[in-house]
Amino acid sequence: MICVWPQCKYVTIYKHSFKRHLFVHSEVKNFKCDFKNCNQVFKLKSLLNSHKLIHSNEKKFICDWNQCHMKFKQKSVLNQHKNDMHLKLKKFECNYEGFHQKFKRKEGLKIHKFIHSEEKSYVCSYNGCNKTFFQNSTLKDHIKRHLSIKKFKCNYYEREEKFVTSSNLK
């Protein structure tokens, strides 16, 4: 089964997985977090349950790699930690001709592939700017520059400088 939504490349052989995937494209969010002052809502109950762990201080998943003993609230984050920090796994490889770059996460490869496509579907409409971007998140950061929204503050040597993104701060 292949998702027919534009620019979605989801494929599965399982009907139940496909039905669950379709929620990604839905705007319906029926599962609300009941934690005090939290207004988060989710499309899937499983996403709500994962979210609720952030309100807890319990970190029951412990890394058993060579005396690391770091603790995590979610098993998926522990596994990601092991793959990134200890195993240094990069299992997502670019198959574009002449490129053999590997990435830790599928999202990293997906972002990388935009450089091969030249498809920039996110357009800045602020004051006729019309600059285009590969990713919506990059467009949002760009618009923050127009609006001078800088929430990342440098605390190094008492500098008062602020930046739009954490990578700019670094």
Residue 31 belongs to some domain of the structure = yes
Q: How confident is the model at residue 27 (pLDDT cuts 50, 70, 90)?
A: confident
Domain contains 73: no
CATH code at 149? 3.30.160.60
In a domain, 66, yes or no: no
From 55, 87, 105, the end of a domain falls on: 55
In a domain, 35, yes or no: yes
* Mean pLDDT across 13-18: 82
Residue located via tokens 């990601």: 80
Burial of 41 (0-12, 13-18, 19+ CB in 10 A): middle
Is 141 a domain residue?
yes
Nearest to 58 by CA among 78, 76, 72: 72
Per-residue pLDDT of 58-117, as tens digits, reads 888 899 988 888 888 888 888 888 888 888 777 788 877 777 788 877 888 877 777 777
* Domain range for 140: 122-169
Q: What global pTM score does this model have?
A: 0.39
In a domain, 5, yes or no: no
Where does residue 37 fall: left (phi above 0), alpha (psi -120 to 50 degrees), or beta otherwise? left
In a domain, 148, yes or no: yes
Do the domain assignments include residue 72? no
Domain count, the chain: 2
CA distance readout (Å), 50 to 59, 136, 147, 161: 13, 25, 34, 36
Is residue 116 within 8 Å of 96, Cβ to Cβ? yes
